[in-house]
Amino acid sequence: MLNLEKLPGLLPDEKLIRLYRRHPVTLFGLYMGIAITFIIPLSAYFLIRGMLGNFFETEAGLTLFVLFVSMFLLFALLFMFQQFLDHWLDVWILTNRRIINIEQTGLFTRVRAEVRLYRVQDVTSEIKGFMRHMFNYGMVFTQTAGERMRFTFEDIPEPKEASKLILQLAERDQRTHEQEITSEKPSDFFNSSP
Amino acid sequence: MIPIAVFVIIWLVFLAIFMVVASLSLMQMFRFGVRDPITKWSIIIFVGLSIVVIGGTLLYLAQIDMQASLDIRPFAAEIFPT
Question: Do both A135 and A95 map to the same domain?
Answer: yes
* Of A39, A66, A86, the domain-final residue: A86
pLDDT for residue A66: 92
Can you give the pTM of this predicted structure?
Answer: 0.81
Instruction: Kindly tell me if the per-residue pLDDT of B9 is higher than 60.
Output: yes
Instruction: Kindly tell me if the per-residue pLDDT of A159 is higher than 90.
Output: yes
Alpha carbon distance A69, B34 (integer Å): 33
Question: Do both A103 and A168 map to the same domain?
Answer: yes
Residue A185 backbone dihedrals phi, psi, to 5 degrees: -80, 150
Better-scored residue on pLDDT, A29 or A17? A17
Sorting pLDDT into bands at 50, 70 and 90, what band is A38? confident
Interface of B with A (CB under 8 A): 2, 4, 7-8, 10-11, 14-15, 18, 21-22, 24-25, 28-35, 38-39, 42, 46, 49-50, 53-54, 56-57, 60-61, 64-65, 68-71, 75, 78-79
Q: Which residues, in sequence order, are CB contacts of A114 under 8 Å at separation 6+?
A: A98, A99, A100, A101
Single-letter amino acid, residue B25: S
Residues of chain A with Cβ-Cβ distance to B71 below 8 Å are: 60
Cβ–Cβ below 8 Å for A88 and B42 = yes
What ipTM was estimated for this complex? 0.88
* Of A70, A86, A102, the domain-final residue: A86
Q: Check CB contact of A82 with chain B, cutoff 8 Å.
A: yes
Question: Do both A77 and A103 map to the same domain?
Answer: no
SS3 A135: helix
Q: Residue A3: inside a domain, yes or no? A: no
Q: Check CB contact of A40 with chain B, cutoff 8 Å.
A: no
Residues of chain A with Cβ-Cβ distance to B1 below 8 Å are: none
Q: Which of A2, A58, A70 sits opposite B32 (nearest CB)?
A: A2
With beta carbons less than 8 A apart as the criterion, state whether A141 and A126 touch.
yes
Strands A120-126 and A137-144: antiparallel
Question: Do both A97 and A45 map to the same domain?
Answer: no
Question: Do both A49 and A129 map to the same domain?
Answer: no
pLDDT for residue B65: 82
Instruction: Kindly tell me if the per-residue pLDDT of B82 is higher than 70.
Output: no
Tally of domains in chain A: 2
SS3 A156: strand
Question: Do both A176 and A117 map to the same domain?
Answer: yes
Q: Residue A7: inside a domain, yes or no? A: no
Alpha carbon distance A59, A63 (integer Å): 6
pLDDT digits (tens, 9 = 90+) for A64-113: 899 999 999 999 999 999 989 989 999 999 998 899 998 888 778 888 88
Residue span of the structural domain in which A32 resides:
27-86
Q: Check CB contact of A110 with chain B, cutoff 8 Å.
A: yes
Work out whether the CA dihedral B10, B16, B21, B22 comes out positive or negative.
positive
